[in-house]
């Protein structure tokens, strides 16, 4: 697909003059490999919308709702319709073993939802692992023809404020809200050298959250393919990485740097109090009783 064009700003669009001297100084908004770190105040939402809207992009969103997790779909989808890529063509792909429990949601124009039936599982670790495989096969079967960008999101979450095209990029990751104040030796990376997700103590950029992977469909395809192969290699050696696919994702992103990094505004946790650098919470994981929702 070649619909992603250069960034063209419409003529006569009025917006605040950009400054090279004044901006946010309380947070870092660029990585050492010069990828933007997206924070409130580092982009102009009106300008960004006006650049991306004329491209007529289609965004794919995959979400898994297996077993009792179907109960999270209603809020996830309702809040996505309010805040997520508003005004863009959207294709939700809902993977579930309970298609009859998928709520009917009023979708605005240009937005579609398809339900794809997948087997259930008694082990949540396995559900987590199979996500990579299912995303990969669905990209092969349809998403690569149906969308330009893809976001793979956790369902036990809600949108609270704008999440727009400022988040688009070739390969997009989000900084986990739990570890951004810590040194890398304290990140919960997989630390056993026998695992293909292994990261030594003196390596690592950020700790990325497994609740979101995004980017060009083909870049996310490669990521899921590599992570799944490694996951299976580990399984063959009876190893399960510390945080399953999140560990494999972190390892992948250490050596395949993301082209855009989303600040923890884009992945918060409802049990965590807002910190001063987070001006707006855009998306957060809801508080859930694991004993209640997980199969075991």
Distance from C-alpha of 268 to C-alpha of 184, rounded to nearest angstrom: 20
User: Which of 156, 176, 103 minimizes the C-alpha distance to 292?
Assistant: 156
Minimum Å gap between C-beta 295 and ligand U5P is 5
Name the token pair of 178: 């739990």
Select the residue whose beta carbon is closest to ligand U5P and give its number.
154
Question: Which part of the chain contacts ligand U5P (CB under 6 A), choosing from 27-35, 59-67, 227-235, 270-278?
Answer: 59-67
Distance from C-alpha of 218 to C-alpha of 216, rounded to nearest angstrom: 5
* CB-CB contact of 144 with 218 (8 Å): yes
Answer yes or no whether residue 295 interacts with ligand U5P by CB under 6 A.
yes
Distance of alpha carbon 204 from the chain centroid? 19
Answer yes or no whether residue 128 interacts with ligand U5P by CB under 6 A.
yes
- DSSP designation for 70: G
Minimum Å gap between C-beta 283 and ligand U5P is 12
Answer yes or no whether residue 294 interacts with ligand U5P by CB under 6 A.
yes
Closer residue to ligand U5P (CB): 15 or 271: 271
Answer yes or no whether residue 69 interacts with ligand U5P by CB under 6 A.
yes
Closer residue to ligand U5P (CB): 27 or 249: 249
Answer yes or no whether residue 66 interacts with ligand U5P by CB under 6 A.
yes
Answer yes or no whether residue 67 interacts with ligand U5P by CB under 6 A.
yes
Answer yes or no whether residue 156 interacts with ligand U5P by CB under 6 A.
yes
SS3 of residue 220 by DSSP: helix
Minimum Å gap between C-beta 102 and ligand U5P is 12
Answer yes or no whether residue 155 interacts with ligand U5P by CB under 6 A.
yes
User: Which of 66, 111, 104, 65 minimizes the C-alpha distance to 84?
Assistant: 111
Question: Which part of the chain contacts ligand U5P (CB under 6 A), choosing from 58-66, 111-119, 173-181, 256-264?
Answer: 58-66
Cα–Cα distance list, 131 to 71, 183, 210, 227, 253 (Å): 18, 29, 11, 11, 18
Choice among 81, 166, 190, 246 that is catalytic:
246
Answer yes or no whether residue 190 interacts with ligand U5P by CB under 6 A.
no
Closer residue to ligand U5P (CB): 156 or 265: 156
Closer residue to ligand U5P (CB): 19 or 296: 296
Pairing, β 260-262 against β 171-175: parallel
Binder of ligand U5P out of 59, 85, 127, 152 (CB under 6 A): 127
- Backbone φ and ψ for 242, nearest 5 degrees, come out as -45, -50
Sheet arrangement for strand 268-269: 157-159, 283-285, 268-269
Indicate if 232 belongs to the active site: no
Answer yes or no whether residue 80 interacts with ligand U5P by CB under 6 A.
no
Binder of ligand U5P out of 39, 64, 206, 208 (CB under 6 A): 64
Answer yes or no whether residue 71 interacts with ligand U5P by CB under 6 A.
no
Binder of ligand U5P out of 27, 35, 59, 65 (CB under 6 A): 65
Distance from C-alpha of 207 to C-alpha of 184, rounded to nearest angstrom: 8
Q: Cβ-count burial of 79 within 10 angstroms (0-12 exposed, 13-18 middle, 19+ buried)?
A: middle
Kindly give, in sequence order, each residue whose CB lies less than 8 Å from that of residue 142, ignoring residues fewer than 6 positions away. none
Name the token pair of 30: 């660029």
Active site (catalytic) residues: 246
Binding residues (CB under 6 A) for ligand U5P: these are 64-67, 69, 124, 127-128, 154-156, 294-295
């Amino acid at each position: 697909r070649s619909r992603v064009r250069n960034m063209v700003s419409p003529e006569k669009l009025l917006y605040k003059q950009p400054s090279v001297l004044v901006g946010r100084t309380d947070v870092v908004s660029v990585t050492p490999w010069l990828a933007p770190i997206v924070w409130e105040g580092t982009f102009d939402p009106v300008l960004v919308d006006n650049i991306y809207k004329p491209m007529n992009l289609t965004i794919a969103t995959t979400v898994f709702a297996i077993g009792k997790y179907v109960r999270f779909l209603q809020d996830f989808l309702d809040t996505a319709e309010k805040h997520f890529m508003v005004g863009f063509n959207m294709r939700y792909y809902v993977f579930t073993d309970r298609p009859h429990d998928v709520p009917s949601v009023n979708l605005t124009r240009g937005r579609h939802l398809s339900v794809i039936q997948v087997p259930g599982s008694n082990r949540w670790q396995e559900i987590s692992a199979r996500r990579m495989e299912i995303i990969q096969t669905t990209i092969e079967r349809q998403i690569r023809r149906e969308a330009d960008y893809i976001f793979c999101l956790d369902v036990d979450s809600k949108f609270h404020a704008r999440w727009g095209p400022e988040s688009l990029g070739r390969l997009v990751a989000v900084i986990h809200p739990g570890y951004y104040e810590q040194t890398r030796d304290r990140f919960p990376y997989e630390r056993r050298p026998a695992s293909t997700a292994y990261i030594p103590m003196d390596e690592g950029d950020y700790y990325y959250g497994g609740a979101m992977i995004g980017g060009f469909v083909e870049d996310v395809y490669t990521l899921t393919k590599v992570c799944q192969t490694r996951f299976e290699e580990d399984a063959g050696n009876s190893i399960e990485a510390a945080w399953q696919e999140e560990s494999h994702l972190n390892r992948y992103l250490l050596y395949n740097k993301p082209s855009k990094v989303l600040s923890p505004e884009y992945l918060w946790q409802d049990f965590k109090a807002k910190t001063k650098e987070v001006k707006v919470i855009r998306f957060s994981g809801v508080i859930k009783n694991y004993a209640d929702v997980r199969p075991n």
